Amino acid sequence: MFSNQPQFFKLATLTLVLIFVLIFSSNTPVYSLGTEPSLSEQVDEGGAHTELTTEEHANSEHHFAAGWSVIPFVLLLAMIATGPLFFEHFWHHNYPKVAIVLASVVVLYYVFGIHNVHAPVHAFFEYVQFIALLTGLFIASGSIMISVDKKSTPFTNVAILLTGAIIANIIGTTGASMLLIRPFLRLNKGRIQSYHIIFFIFIVSNVGGALTPIGDPPLFLGFLKGVPFEWTLTHNLPSWIFAIIVLLIVFYFFDVKNKKVIKDENRSGKISIIGGINFVWLAIVIGAVFLDPNVFDWVPAIHYDGQKFSFIREIIMLSVAATSYLMADKNLLKKNDFSFEPIKEVAFIFIGIFGTMMPALEMVGNFAQSPEGAAMITHNTLYWGTGLLSGILDNAPTYLNFLAAAMASDGANINNIEHVRQFAAGGYHDSILLLQSISVAAVFFGAMTYIGNGPNFMVKSIAEQLGIKMPSFFGYIIRFSIPILLPIFIAVWLIFFYL
């Protein structure tokens, strides 16, 4: 299963034990990002509201992390970027330890340094939700073998990418990526280049999922907060069509220039699917996503810090993953080049990201909700702020931070579901345009880096497992994101937001 299984399970167990020890080692009543009292009030131990002056609030050391605490996050990003390029052997064998150590530094600082246990708890819950969904979709789709017995042509590749962009809104960008990446690689075997994988990440793993809350995690969080299910389809469709068409056209010209020809062109022209039962498992995973205790009161939940958390859906997702794997035809898995390495890499890398990005998110949120930050809030700044940070931070909490700031600038509260519904309906000044800029940017800009969205790293890892040489972290950005994505995103901004 995993290479060096005992070490992997020891590290995983140690990580979970460390997190639980840190979570339950402090009872200090402090507030995490998004749940602090206002500048003028704080809840005392007896539950009463006490007035705080601006000066007292500013001196409240328990609420905010120090600037140096961002260093582990920056260091992790730097190592993700340079490790595979400059010290590949060390990185390949030690990235789990690096991620865990850097995350532990920040978590320990939050719990024992500033007595803020809430932020690590929220990060832990978010990580479990994140990795359970990715694991369920990854393993369930791994037992589905789609064979496209057609000639590898630019037009056929465009058709597959367009199909992936559409179904990403039905089974999520992760589900669509895991379902189609292997048949896409098999179709192009013999002429595969890194640009095939890069455009797959651009279109299927990111931009494609902008039309429904199922498509991408930030949109789903918006739905849980009160944004109507159909809102994204209604308001994101024009920019989605524009971006997908332009990306497909650019890919087509890339593929036309690829002069490599597959010798064996005796193709039947048929598309076959083996292991179709796993579509049922995929449906169960997607259905479990909606078992949210903040929406349905009957879902068993843990009440913590004013919110409700439930591991019911995560248990369902992981149970589906285990069951689908145990029931899968092992010969089919072998033919499908299935390996646990991609999900292992994502699991450890994102332990580091979720653990270390707390101070960065806190600083962004605090500035955005400060008087100075609120004064700067427009649909233009929200588009670029949400977008650029979604490329290096997890786009789901980035989406929530900027939505909270946008609503607060207009006197609305993101934790009030009626306020969110009114905001989405245009009940506040320019609120539809503000929400649209946040939604589009959070999804689109996730394609800017390998860590912008969960499926990106998984697709990259699957390709590398099959011997395809992928660009480095910086190579991806410099060779593809900046010259291809950035002009498209500027055009989206000019056409749909600026003008």
> Over 114-166, what HEC string results?
CCCCHHHHHHHHHHHHHHHHHHHHHHHHHCCEEEECCCCCHHHHHHHHHHHHH
What is the reported pLDDT for 41? 38
Planar angle of CA 477, 338, 462, nearest 5 degrees: 10
Instruction: Look at residue 331 and tell me if it is in a domain.
Output: yes
Residues of the chain with pLDDT under 50: 1-62
Contact 210, 440 (CB under 8 A): yes
Rg of the chain taking only CA atoms, in angstroms: 23
For residue range 188-227, what is the model confidence (pLDDT) as tens digits?
Answer: 988 899 999 999 999 999 999 999 988 888 898 788 778 9
What is the reported pLDDT for 437? 96
Helix (H) or strand (E) holding 273: strand 271-274
| Parent domain of 256 | 68-498
Sign of CA dihedral 116, 117, 121, 124: positive
Planar angle of CA 5, 6, 7, nearest 5 degrees: 90
pTM to 2 decimals?
0.75
What is the reported pLDDT for 6? 46
Specify the residue for token string 């991408």: 216
Instruction: Look at residue 5 and tell me if it is in a domain.
Output: no
Alpha helices in 328-412 (DSSP H): 330-335, 341-356, 358-368, 371-375, 379-390, 395-408
- Nearest CA-CA partner of 393 in 357, 429, 347, 428: 357
- Nearest CA-CA partner of 7 in 321, 344, 315: 344
What is the reported pLDDT for 290? 80
Planar angle of CA 305, 307, 308, nearest 5 degrees: 125
What is the reported pLDDT for 263? 57
In the three-class reduction of DSSP (H, G, I as helix; E, B as strand; rest coil), residue 31 is classed as coil
Contact 151, 143 (CB under 8 A): no
Maximum distance among all alpha carbons in the chain?
78
Instruction: Look at residue 184 and tell me if it is in a domain.
Output: yes
Instruction: Look at residue 318 and tell me if it is in a domain.
Output: yes
Query: How many separate domains does the chain show?
Result: 1
Separation of alpha carbons 33 and 177, rounded Å: 32
Planar angle of CA 132, 23, 349, nearest 5 degrees: 40
Instruction: Look at residue 428 and tell me if it is in a domain.
Output: yes
Instruction: Look at residue 418 and tell me if it is in a domain.
Output: yes
Separation of alpha carbons 413 and 429, rounded Å: 14
Separation of alpha carbons 180 and 398, rounded Å: 28
Separation of alpha carbons 469 and 61, rounded Å: 47
- Nearest CA-CA partner of 459 in 208, 288, 262: 208
What is the reported pLDDT for 261? 60
For residue range 240-257, what is the model confidence (pLDDT) as tens digits?
Answer: 999 999 999 999 999 999
Contact 464, 470 (CB under 8 A): yes
Separation of alpha carbons 172 and 168, rounded Å: 4
Instruction: Look at residue 480 and tell me if it is in a domain.
Output: yes
Instruction: Look at residue 55 and tell me if it is in a domain.
Output: no
List, in sequence order, every residue forming a beta bridge with 147; answer none if it has no partner.
272
